[in-house]
Amino acid sequence: MSGTFALASVELATLGPARKETVHSLSRMVNRWWLNTQASVALIFGLKSAAKGLFEQMVKLNPSDALALSSLGNLRMQFGDSSGAVKALSDLVERHPDDANGWFNLGYVHEKRGELGPAERCMREAVRVNPRHDRAWYGLALVLIRKGELNAAVPALEKNIALQPMSPYGFYQLGMTLHHLGRTDEARRIVERLKQFEPKYAATLERDIERNALQMPTTAI
């Protein structure tokens, strides 16, 4: 697939500085649109390597392109290039510090790399930017659980289930965390709440409380 979409030839030498800049800006905009269109089509057809190359071209065209940086971080992670993913996502949040999803995804990559300190900082930044980011509250809780900070994980899980009251994952982790803190009566009340809408997960939680088995699924990018 072609990398760029060329505008019609223009005699730039005959234009004033303002018009030249307008033409260059329009050219960059059209090129960005064309690259993004090709990348989207490549992803539809499962051509992830081609899409990754196109997003890399978009970043070269505009190093602050939030969509390209986010997509590039995601694809690099899928290809096992966690260092490259950290680079793309770090560039994203540096240029767009109010991008809660960017902070969340960077936290996820750090967690996968076992870098729990940076992972926690990114998850906290995500919920600071967007206090209603339920996945970031859940991700923060899982990082804290991995760090052994169970008391700190409880309020994060409570935030998660308040935002996602029908999702069983936060309830499960909250029940197990409470149990491991010796607050088993509270954990059993979580089981009863879970029975109201996810009886299978409630049965799993009840069984795991009995087996004393703490499970820690990972977050998702």
Ordered by where they begin, the domains of the chain are: 17-97 (1.25.40.10), 127-221 (1.25.40.10)
Q: How confident is the model at residue 22 (pLDDT cuts 50, 70, 90)?
A: confident
Give the pLDDT score at 26: 82
pLDDT digits 0-9 by tens, 40-62: 999 999 999 999 999 999 999 99
Give the pLDDT score at 24: 67
- Percent of the chain past pLDDT 90, that is, above it, reads 81
Q: Is residue 73's pLDDT more than 80?
A: yes
pLDDT digits 0-9 by tens, 6-20: 444 445 455 566 665
Segment 90-114 shows an average pLDDT of 98
Q: Is residue 65's pLDDT more than 80?
A: yes
Give the pLDDT score at 28: 83
Segment 85-112 shows an average pLDDT of 98
Total Cβ atoms within 10 A of residue 216: 12
Helices (DSSP H) in the chain: which residue ranges?
A: 17-44, 48-61, 66-78, 82-95, 100-112, 116-129, 134-146, 150-163, 168-180, 184-195, 199-211
Give the pLDDT score at 9: 47
Q: Is 63 exposed, middle or buried (0-12, 13-18, 19+ CB in 10 A)?
A: exposed
63 — phi, psi (to 5°)? Answer: -60, -10
Q: Do 147 and 118 touch, CB atoms closer than 8 A?
A: no
pTM of the full structure:
0.85
Segment 50-75 shows an average pLDDT of 97
Mean pLDDT of the chain: 90
Q: Is residue 217's pLDDT more than 60?
A: no
